[in-house]
Amino acid sequence: MEANLHLDEKQFEIAAIEEKKRRHDVMAHVHTFGQVAPSAAGIIHLGATSCYVTDNADLIFIREALSQVIKKLAVVIDRLSSFAEQYRDLPTLGFTHFQPAQLTTVASFQFPTSHTLKYQELLWDLRNLKRARDDIGFRGVKGTTGTQASFLTLFDGDHDKVEELDRLVTSLCGFSYAYPVTSQTYSRKVDVDALSPLASFGATAHKIATDLRLLANLKEVEEPFESTQIGSSAMAYKRNPMRSERICSLSRHLMVLQQNALMTSSVQWFERTLDDSANRRITIPEAFLTADIVLTTLQNVSEGLVVYPKVIARRISQELPFMATENIIMAIVKNGGDRQEAHEKIRVLSHEAGHQVKHLGLENDLIDRVKADSYFDPIKAQLDELLNPSSFIGRAPEQVDKFLRDWVKPALADPELQEVLSKGEKAELNV
């Protein structure tokens, strides 16, 4: 029995020398193992092919990498849940086409409930990543073209022993099943399936970070900004949202990496070609490393978001008078007024107030004009109530509560995720 069965630094040095000589990575290690265990040198790799080693190893790596990404995404979702709970009922101006729309809340606007997008999409990403991971099989013991011919020869034509070997190797490597059919490699479509949820998550992260960048410009919500942080080398006053910009930059890269997997899958000739190898060695690790840093940065942002309620309230005050006109009209009608006459009165006053805002750069004085017009005397006592921002947010707070209770908490209740969530570790960025 050989004393040293584990790789050490010296063996990696031997393998590097062997690979330079033989121009074959697997055979370089086969010869290295032969030096470590010379009595086994004559049978190492017997009946096997390089992809028996590398493809099976890749499937182990991909499955484990997906598990790591799943855990980090769960932490991000957990942090955003806390944010949503805190700001579930703070009214804010919503935007469609990046133009002022109806009010919503900071929680439902920033990380929305089931009727909108971003936060729900993170749950979908979590689901998709789990599906991709749990669907991964093993290449197993299939031989040079997938026929298991070499193993059938080794077992003197005993098909049952070949199948049992395939099953045992698959089970010992921690997989519940092996792909029933392979060529020399497992189908490169598996790589497509693994990178697809990563690319999809990239789209979610990009949208979240983009909206944060827009909100930073509006000075309503900002990512963390340390006291000694410099926003611009030239403009000392600037607070550039560099974390969100980094998320967008890396997410774009993450989204396009799946295209490599798609193209590689589409050009595999017959039982295989080698033009997949160098590409995959870059694309697959890069996808997971990119997803990892995007998640780390997104967690860091979510743990330090800063909300400015007074800025939000001021923007609401500028737009709400126009939004409240329909409520004012309905109040007049309820007090016996004529709807068409009220509409015309409000229309004229709205245009006058709009002129003040757009042409003179003044504040929206529509409500002051309403108060000064005797026509609206019957409802002037109701104006404060009609202009209460909380009356314009619909069921947004309740939707946040329901979403967190019925969807987020069950998704995070998985024991696999609870282990990492219980640690409560913060995400730190070195630069």
Give, in order, the Cα–Cα distances in Å from 424 to each of 75, 76, 107, 355: 9, 11, 22, 52
- Radius of gyration over alpha carbons of the chain, in Å? 31
Give, in order, the Cα–Cα distances in Å from 321 to each of 283, 308, 368: 53, 21, 10
Q: Which residues of 140-153 are buried (b: 16+ CB within 10 A; e: fewer)?
A: bbbbbebebebbbe
d(CA 312, CA 31): 68
State yes or no: is 232 an active-site residue.
yes
Q: Which alpha helices (H) appear in 373-430, and where do they start and end?
A: 383-386, 396-403, 409-412, 415-421
From 97, 227, 233, 374, active-site residue: 97
d(CA 93, CA 320): 9
From 82, 232, 390, 391, active-site residue: 232
d(CA 302, CA 322): 33
State yes or no: is 97 an active-site residue.
yes
Name the DSSP letter for residue 190.
Answer: H
Question: Are 303 and 426 a contacting pair, CB within 8 Å?
Answer: yes
Q: Could you give the residue numbers annotated as active site?
A: 97, 232
